[in-house]
């Protein structure tokens, strides 16, 4: 088994979301509820298969923090990431192959949007690092 992170981005991916030109904050409450219920359904299906690990939605707000030598670390609401770089949420899965990870991502991508149509959003599939490189590698 290998762990993968399925990342949902606010902008949707390279071609955005082909079937969804309307930002989620302009969807009806029923459309938002149906979308979230579908994501829960995906999690339930993956859980039944023993592949689901965890999932969370993320707020677009956040702060950047870094080490700045001695003293208090600087905290800022920037540098400002481009919207395309912001992650809307993630799902962690543990599956047998990268092909299975891609199948799960495609299933998640079929979540409904406005008018109940699948939004076909791009889901970024990132494997967990299995081997931490050392200075001798």
Domain residue spans in the chain?
Answer: 2-127
76, 109, 81: which is closest to 6 by C-alpha?
109
Place of tokens 């199948």: 103
Query: Which pLDDT tens digit goes with each residue over 40-74?
Result: 999 999 999 999 999 998 887 777 777 777 777 76
Q: Of 111-115, 123-127, 133-137, which gets the smallest average pLDDT?
A: 133-137
Question: What contacts 2, CB < 8 A, 6 or more positions away?
Answer: 94, 95, 96, 97, 98, 101, 127, 128, 130
**Could you give the angle at which helices 29-48 and 98-109 cross, rounded to 10 degrees?**
160
Q: Place domain 2-127 in its CATH homologous superfamily.
A: Dimeric alpha+beta barrel (3.30.70.1060)
46, 48, 24: which is closest to 36 by C-alpha?
24
Q: Which residues of 24-59 are buried (b: 16+ CB within 10 A; e: fewer)?
A: eeebeeebeebbeebbeebbeebeeeebbeebeeee
The DSSP symbol for 58 reads: -
The per-residue pLDDT for 2 is 93
Query: Which pLDDT tens digit goes with each residue over 67-109?
Result: 777 777 766 665 555 544 578 899 999 999 999 999 999 999 9
CA–CA dist 15, 9 (Å, integer): 12
Span 7-14, mean pLDDT? 68
């Amino acid at each position: 088994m290998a762990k993968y992170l399925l990342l949902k981005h606010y902008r949707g991916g390279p071609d955005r979301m082909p079937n969804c030109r309307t930002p989620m904050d302009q969807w009806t409450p029923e459309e938002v509820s149906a979308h979230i219920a579908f994501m829960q359904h995906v999690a339930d299906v993956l859980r039944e298969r023993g592949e689901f690990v965890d999932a969370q939605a993320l707020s677009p707000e956040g702060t950047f923090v870094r080490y700045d030598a001695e003293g208090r670390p600087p905290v800022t609401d920037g540098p400002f990431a481009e919207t395309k770089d912001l992650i809307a949420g993630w799902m962690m899965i543990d599956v047998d192959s990268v092909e299975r990870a891609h199948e799960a991502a495609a299933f998640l991508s079929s979540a409904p949007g406005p008018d109940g149509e699948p939004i076909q959003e791009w889901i970024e599939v990132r494997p967990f690092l299995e081997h931490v490189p050392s200075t001798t590698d």
